[in-house]
């Protein structure tokens, strides 16, 4: 019983035309998933980061918050003119954005999901990818901050009534990224302006710390950045993107991968072994290694350690996506989007490729929390046809496939990877199940075995020979005659059989004559 409590069952959220359903995750009984919740009408649905709460946006601007242990509703909110909503990592707070009619209207509200009370309100003119969610939390909800004009504002996450308790002044600030586990540092991006280079700066979140960056990296030709913290908050990867490539090698501009550490041991560009854009980068779950897909097609993929030393080359191919299994053992290298969907599965610990396959037209892709399965999905509105789900084993073999008329969203229910057994033990249990299945299949009924023998005794029908036009039948003889060679007669099967019979008769007659003499 202890093993069952320690390893929770997997769950899959599926949203289609009629609302969302919740499936029991793999392994499936009889090859089909069990339905835990059947088609609830909604316009959007999301889990909290830790998987403890489920937010359902229903018609008429109603938001329902459900406890994921029983899926019973905890609280519902009626919010008019709703544009967006999101849960905090542990599901303690609900953050909503409404269309504001006047600047005096506070249209961003932070609600307590247990009591239903608003704990903080503010005005925000518009919502962009850089400014939403407005209030950012660390994974344990200990640290909370927001991006303001030329500064980062910090709150007491346990008492928002105190307002802003701490500020870090950053002139020209355009984007921030708070580290997750723990929320000890925040990264700030300042774009290039009037000949002054752009920069990425790392600050400590502590109230007593000085408002000076503990790490900084400056650069020209930068319009956007992607900031990626590792688990442990010791390293930051920043993909710096420029809209224009001055070398004219790429229509999509140029990109560089920068790496900064919180202890100041490394601040610089990661040395990549092929020219071209940085397609994707991801940290391992341990935060000790990161993998990068980069370069002009066919792209190259490499795993680096925390000191930017290459550890493993994953080869080249039509790839632009990399996904690291939560246990840190397996990697999936894929080419989605405008690429044909090739996938290569690697065992990082053993440093070998496990298998290759394809998942065409995939829009989303992610490993299961236990690290055993890899799920891809083709969803609307990105693609309006061929919507469906595919689930693969860790080695790339297809486990499950289901097509939909319209599919909008597919997600694994988040779970901590530590709650699951080690992947080696899981693979052994899978292999033992496979052996048992093969034995049971081998012990079929006598009638089925007899029918199999009967069908195998009948040889398959031979395909008809390809058509040859009349002028091509003697082409070999004509070619031999032109080259001065003896023409080779094209004989039919019957003629060839008769010829062999005649040769055997001649040999038999010759041996009889020799014996008589």
d(CA 9, CA 420): 9
183-201: burial string, b at 16+ Cβ within 10 Å, e else? bbbbbbbbbbeeeeebbbb
pLDDT of 247 reads 62
pLDDT of 251 reads 62
pLDDT of 474 reads 53
d(CA 82, CA 61): 6
pLDDT of 180 reads 87
d(CA 402, CA 421): 28
Mean pLDDT per block of 10 residues along the chain (517 residues) reads 60 93 90 89 93 91 92 92 92 92 85 93 86 91 92 92 91 92 90 87 82 87 88 92 68 83 88 91 92 94 92 93 92 93 93 93 94 94 92 94 94 90 59 48 47 43 52 50 45 74 82 69
- For residue 28 the two structure tokens come to 């499936």
Burial class (CB in 10 A: 0-12, 13-18, 19+), 477: middle
Over the Cα atoms of the chain, what is R_g? 32
pLDDT of 179 reads 92
pLDDT of 55 reads 95
pLDDT of 211 reads 77
Rounded to a whole number of angstroms, the distance between the first and last alpha carbons of the chain is 92
- For residue 214 the two structure tokens come to 């503990």
d(CA 22, CA 13): 5
The 8-class DSSP code of residue 348 comes to T
Q: List CB contacts of 220: < 8 A, sequence separation 6 or more.
A: 192, 197, 198
pLDDT of 426 reads 52
Burial class (CB in 10 A: 0-12, 13-18, 19+), 163: exposed
Hey, CA dihedral for 398, 401, 407, 412, is it positive or negative? negative
Contact 373, 394 (CB under 8 A): yes
- For residue 447 the two structure tokens come to 């009638």
Q: How far is CA 508 from the centre of its chain?
A: 73
Number of helical H runs and strand E runs in the chain: 6, 36
| Long-range contact pairs involving 508-511 (C-beta distance under 8 Å, separation at least 24) | none
- Grouping H, G, I as helix, E, B as strand and the rest as coil, residue 506 is helix
Q: What is the 3-state secondary structure of 423-450? A: HHHHHHHHHHHHHHHHHHHHCCCHHHHH
d(CA 110, CA 135): 9
pLDDT of 491 reads 58
Hey, CA dihedral for 323, 324, 325, 329, is it positive or negative? positive
d(CA 372, CA 392): 9
pLDDT of 459 reads 44
d(CA 290, CA 278): 13
pLDDT of 100 reads 81
d(CA 132, CA 97): 9
Contact 79, 63 (CB under 8 A): yes
Contact 83, 99 (CB under 8 A): yes
């Amino acid at each position: 019983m202890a093993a069952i409590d320690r390893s929770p069952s997997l769950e899959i959220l599926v949203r289609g035309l009629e609302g969302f359903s919740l499936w029991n995750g793999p392994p499936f009984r009889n090859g089909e998933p069990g339905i835990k919740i059947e088609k609830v009408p909604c316009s959007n649905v999301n889990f909290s980061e830790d998987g403890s709460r489920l937010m359902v946006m229903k018609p008429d601007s109603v938001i329902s918050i459900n406890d994921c242990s029983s899926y019973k509703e905890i609280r519902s909110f009626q919010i008019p003119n709703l544009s967006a909503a999101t849960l905090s990592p542990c599901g303690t707070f609900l953050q909503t954005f409404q269309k504001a009619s006047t600047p005096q209207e506070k249209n961003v509200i932070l609600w307590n999901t247990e009591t239903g009370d608003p704990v903080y309100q503010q005005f925000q003119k518009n919502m962009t990818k850089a400014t939403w969610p407005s209030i950012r939390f660390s994974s344990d909800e200990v640290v909370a901050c927001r991006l303001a004009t030329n500064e980062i504002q910090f709150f007491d996450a346990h008492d928002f009534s105190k307002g802003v308790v701490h500020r870090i002044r950053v002139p020209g600030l355009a984007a921030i990224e708070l580290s997750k586990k723990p929320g000890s540092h925040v990264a700030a991006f300042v774009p290039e302006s009037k000949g002054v280079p752009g920069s990425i700066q790392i600050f400590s979140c502590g109230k007593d710390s000085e408002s000076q960056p503990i790490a900084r990296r400056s650069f020209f030709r930068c319009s956007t950045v992607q900031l990626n913290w590792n688990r442990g908050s010791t390293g930051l990867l920043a993909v710096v993107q420029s809209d224009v490539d001055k070398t004219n090698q790429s229509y999509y501009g140029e990109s560089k991968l920068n790496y900064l550490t919180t202890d100041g041991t490394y601040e610089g560009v990661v040395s990549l072994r092929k020219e071209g854009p940085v397609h994707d980068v991801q940290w391992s779950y341990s935060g000790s290694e990161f993998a990068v897909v980069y370069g002009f097609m066919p792209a190259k993929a490499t795993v680096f350690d925390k000191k930017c030393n290459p550890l493993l080359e994953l080869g080249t191919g039509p790839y632009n996506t990399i996904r690291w299994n939560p246990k840190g053992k397996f990697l999936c290298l894929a080419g989605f989007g405008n690429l044909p969907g090739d996938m290569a599965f690697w065992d990082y610990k053993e440093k070998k490729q496990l298998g290759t396959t394809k998942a065409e037209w995939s829009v989303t892709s992610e490993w299961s929390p236990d690290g055993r399965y890899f799920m891809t999905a083709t969803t609307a509105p990105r693609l309006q046809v061929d919507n469906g789900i595919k689930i693969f084993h860790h080695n790339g073999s297809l486990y499950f496939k289901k097509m939909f008329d319209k599919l909008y969203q597919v997600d694994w229910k988040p779970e901590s990877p530590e709650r699951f057994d080690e992947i080696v033990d899981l693979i052994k249990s899978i292999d033992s199940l496979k052996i048992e299945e093969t034995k049971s299949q081998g012990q079929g009924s006598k009638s089925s075995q007899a029918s199999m023998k009967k069908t195998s005794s009948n040889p398959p029908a031979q395909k008809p020979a390809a058509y040859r036009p009349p002028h091509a039948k003697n082409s070999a003889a004509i070619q031999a005659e032109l080259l001065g060679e003896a023409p080779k007669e094209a004989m039919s099967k019957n003629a060839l059989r008769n010829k062999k019979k005649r040769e055997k008769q001649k040999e038999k007659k010759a041996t009889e004559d020799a014996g008589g003499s």
